[in-house]
Structure 1
């Protein structure tokens, strides 16, 4: 070990310098003094909502060069008051993982391979199948002639990542479409 490195040990810097209590520059290295936070170097910050559960904790998403660099709780949120659970705090990994799919994949009936599909094509296929199932299973009246105006061919199953506002809109949509089977895994 070179003598210069030995003299840079924190305890020796503390005893030699103007910081005998070891609470200032004596205990910080040059590398530590040059380090800046990810939020200080971000291009901007966007308001968002945590995608993991129906609580709807607000997030501040810091980004640089089109990439998420840091996510923290929003202290202005009346829901979470700046706090995030461990999953919410780690949601930056959800945005930046190299395994994240950014295009639609489709596997044909009886197919074995996934193939890329344009988003508009996929949405048209979903809409066509939705309308066909509604049409094929529509019940206008029951056996006694009483009005039903419902379909048993479509249903809605929500998950815990859907917040209350999204659930409200889904309930309105599926009710208007005639579906009576609507369920959600998260009941808060």
Structure 2
């Protein structure tokens, strides 16, 4: 009896991850009107899935994406304009829900930040490129004589402390 209880517990615990998964979304029911369905499909491509975040709700298999598709279809069927549907989605989930968020003062950094970084980088490169290297001070007469003597000597061992393989 004890072995049967342990075996039953192992089966239940082994199956629990499969039971914990999100149930499959119900199949989409397209609009009967082809024009309304085309509008809905166009909106699906512009709206980001809040679970997948890199996919539109048209391509997402998540249950919330199916709910969002159903919501969009319902609003279009009730006569809402595309902009009204977008506004309702933004009201519920914020500007992030749109793949192309509107340009507002709160999204300026999002829209213009990359360009500002490129311009700042080019400005830094331009300023650094315009700096002139300071010319080296001329050699004193004594330094010039020692240099001439070394060059005339023709020594090919510049470092007298180095041994032969490390010249």
TM-score range, shorter-chain basis?
Answer: under 0.3
Q: TM-score, normalised by structure 1?
A: 0.21
Q: Per residue, is there more helix in 1 or in 2?
A: 2
